Structure 1
Amino acid sequence: MPKFIIEDDFWSLFPQAKIGIVICQGIDNSIKNVEMYDQLLREAEKEAHQFLSLDEFSLNPVISVWREAFQKFKTKKGARCSIEALLKRVKNSNEIGTINPLVDIYNSISLRFGLPCGGEDIDTFVGDIRLTQANGKEGFIPLGSVENATPYEGEIVYKDDEGAICRCWNWREAQRTMLTEQTKNAFLCIESIDETRSDEFYTALKVLSELVSHHLGGSVKVEVLDLNNRETTIIE
């Protein structure tokens, strides 16, 4: 029964954070309708322009709040929050391509609500998942690479007993735990550090779970971790 645990060293930096998770079991993530997911992303890109009202990209609130957060821990030079990377593509009129249903769904939610979203294949996990500060010794093969890129000591990471599975909090995911068309059980998350956007956070979590359930079947479980609720069992 693997657990998701958020360690004290994370809360010492971000006591106001909320981490919403959607545990998906028995889903069908195979690609059946590329056009539908492409349309989902195109509509989400249109909605994302609401978060780009200021001409100076980095001053838009959904970006600046994460720029400030990334200054609180050691990061790889140039590392940015995942929502910033998506919104930069929207600003530059570069379409977000389809990957597989789960990734397309959570990317669309990220764009619609201006919140970072991510996901991993539960069946690849080794032991518990922890959101914590890295010790600087964790193995990490970035998505699309074959070379180890160990996190810095003190860097915020998601990790299991095998190594890091997402570096710089939500910047770069691991090849080992990536979602594929064969994924049957998935760990999805939405992260919020802006207390003024609590309503959007909970709505995004609800819509994410509903889209997965509607399109991919299986069962979904939703939970929110915060300072007063720091761990949960992933699969009973």
Structure 2
Amino acid sequence: MLHQFTITKPFWELFPDVQVAVITVRGIDNHDHGQVPANLLREANDQVEDLIPYEPISKNPFIHEWREAFSKFKTKKGARFAVENLLKRAKKGNPVPSIDPIVDLYNVISLKYGFPVGCLDEDKIVGDMQLTVAEGGEPFTAIGEDDNEPALAGEVIYRDEAKVTSRCWAWRDSQISEATEDSTNFLMYVECLKPEWREDHKRVLKELTDSIQQYLGGDIETQIVTIEQPSITFK
């Protein structure tokens, strides 16, 4: 069955220059059989100081740009872009731990380059996907939580036809569509906030998909969504 991934007009009115890479990964075994070398994540944690050398963290240019972006829409108090907390904990000497193979591989990318990577279990997605602006009240239950925490009116969200899959852009993910070690098919997205970051974005996408292919195999497809091409089809 074919599905659409669409970025809607209300989002483009806020962020016309954003581009989002949508990656589908299918047919992998995501249980940890030692196929991802442990040193990849360890070295990525150790390199964080090079990526964000300045204190406070907001003085680092790309952190500042993401915080500026988050100031343009309604957010839950304390919400930051998806990578900031990873970088903070690693810099403070609390390394990001191994979780499962595909999460480890995309956390390596985020720690090394600062690009956020979202990842859902594709088989848990209901219908089409959107990156959009919430009307308010759309249901959401965060990973590790039991209570519904509906989206705020004006909040940037990812959603499928049944629920919010990520709140505050991709700050927190839904428990219902969570990718786990038992997942075999994944929908991933990697966001590029600024046009001047696009060459880095391209390199990051190649490194991410090459590493997934090298260590986990599977069928991988990457498509780019922009204001000129706001919708793509995935199976």
Normalised by the shorter chain, which TM-score bucket? over 0.9
Write the distance in 2 (CA, Å) between the matches of 1:18 and 1:149.
28
Write the distance in 2 (CA, Å) between the matches of 1:194 and 1:91.
24
The one-letter code of the counterpart of 1:108 is V
Residue 46, structure 1, aligned to residue 46, structure 2: yes
- Find the counterpart in structure 2 of residue 75 from structure 1: 75
- Find the counterpart in structure 2 of residue 26 from structure 1: 27
The one-letter code of the counterpart of 1:116 is P
Query: Residue 50 of structure 1: CA displacement?
Result: 2.0
Per-residue deviation, residues 175-233 of structure 1 (Å, max 9, x unmatched): 01111111111011111112222111110011111111111111000111111111111
Name the SS for the 2:16 alignment partner.
coil
Of residues 39-48 and 13-22 in structure 1, the stretch that sits farther from structure 2 once superposed is 39-48
User: TM-score, normalization: structure 1?
Assistant: 0.96
The one-letter code of the counterpart of 2:204 is A
Q: State the aligned residue count.
A: 234
Contiguous gaps of at least 5 residues in structure 2: none
Per-residue deviation, residues 77-134 of structure 1 (Å, max 9, x unmatched): 0001111111111221111011111111111111111111110010001110000001
Identity %: 37
Q: Is the 8 A contact 1:125 1:177 kept in 2?
A: yes
User: TM-score, normalization: structure 2?
Assistant: 0.96
Write the distance in 1 (CA, Å) between the matches of 2:48 and 2:224.
24
Correspondence list, 1:53-92, <5 A: 53-92=53-92
- Find the counterpart in structure 1 of residue 93 from structure 2: 93
Q: Is the 8 A contact 1:63 1:83 kept in 2?
A: no
Name the SS for the 1:23 alignment partner.
strand
Name the SS for the 1:82 alignment partner.
coil
Name the SS for the 1:224 alignment partner.
strand
Q: Is the 8 A contact 1:48 1:114 kept in 2?
A: no
Q: Is the 8 A contact 2:87 2:111 kept in 1?
A: yes
Name the SS for the 2:15 alignment partner.
coil
Correspondence list, 1:116-195, <5 A: 116-195=116-195
Name the SS for the 1:9 alignment partner.
helix
Name the SS for the 1:202 alignment partner.
helix
Q: Is the 8 A contact 1:129 1:160 kept in 2?
A: yes
Q: Compute the RMSD of aligned alpha carbons.
A: 1.2
